A and B are shown apart, each in its own frame.
Chain A
Amino acid sequence: NAGVTQTPKFQVLKTGQSMTLQCAQDMNHEYMSWYRQDPGMGLRLIHYSVGAGITDQGEVPNGYNVSRSTTEDFPLRLLSAAPSQTSVYFCASSYRPGLEQYFGPGTRLTVT
């Protein structure tokens, strides 16, 4: 198993640009989530999904959209990037919320 994969590893955007961060898992996990990590802030939950076709907001959802059309994929979309979205983004998955999550390697995003 590849586990949880994320692409790209690094990305630089200009303010106002849009992009999609990709996340995929091959463990048939129902639960997937996106976090952002900023210095001194720990990991903050952006959006999560308990299964295909179901998504919900986390702690900091503004400025981000998600969709879950398949069990495997959970892309995160930035519609109009802002400097405040400069961060490291982690995708994670688990069989269900009450079990350990497996994290991807992260995407470092810089918005100028």
Chain B
Amino acid sequence: GENVGLHLPTLSVQEGDNSIINCAYSNSASDYFIWYKQESGKGPQFIIDIRSNMDKRQGQRVTVLLNKTVKHLSLQIAATQPGDSAVYFCAENSEARDDKIIFGKGTRLHILP
């Protein structure tokens, strides 16, 4: 929605370059991780997910990497396009803990022409 992304970390990337957006999590029991994209004025939209028994998963132009040792998650976007401009959120869930899905604060991706 409007004003989403104020005071958020911003990543500026040249059009055509690859983007890497990072996310740290604190709950070692988390076993499911999701990346969402939120365009201005819209609700978040699912991009890709990964379970804790994997360390890498690829989609169309996107790759998610999971490093459980350091509790770090990253989203890589290949050949960034103007339509990739948005705020990106990681979210996590632990089935063993409860059914809550908790979001990170988000990163704004800005595409330079």
Residues of A whose CB lies within 8 Å of any CB of B are 4, 31, 33, 35, 37, 39-45, 48, 50, 56, 58-59, 88, 90, 92, 97-106, 108
Nearest-Cβ distance from residue B44 to partner chain A, whole angstroms: 5
**How distant is the Cα of A97 from the Cα of B7 in the complex, in angstroms?**
29
Nearest to A4 among chain B residues (CB) is: B43
Task: A43-B44, A92-B43, A104-B43 are known; give 6 further A-B pairs, CB within 8 A.
Answer: A41-B105, A97-B95, A97-B101, A102-B46, A106-B42, A106-B43
CB contact under 8 A between A103 and B6, given known A31-B99, A45-B101 = no
B66 at the interface (CB under 8 A from A): no
Residues of B contacting A101 in the complex (Cβ-Cβ under 8 angstroms):
34, 44, 46, 101
**Selected contact of B44 from candidates A31, A40, A48, A90, CB within 8 Å:** A90
**How distant is the Cα of A105 from the Cα of B99 in the complex, in angstroms?**
23
How many B residues are at the interface, by size bracket? Answer: 20 to 34
CB-based contact A105/B106 at 8 Å? no
Nearest-Cβ distance from residue A7 to partner chain B, whole angstroms: 14
CB-based contact B43/A40 at 8 Å? no
CB-based contact B42/A105 at 8 Å? yes
Residues of A contacting B3 in the complex (Cβ-Cβ under 8 angstroms):
39
**How distant is the Cα of A103 from the Cα of B46 in the complex, in angstroms?**
9
Nearest-Cβ distance from residue B2 to partner chain A, whole angstroms: 8
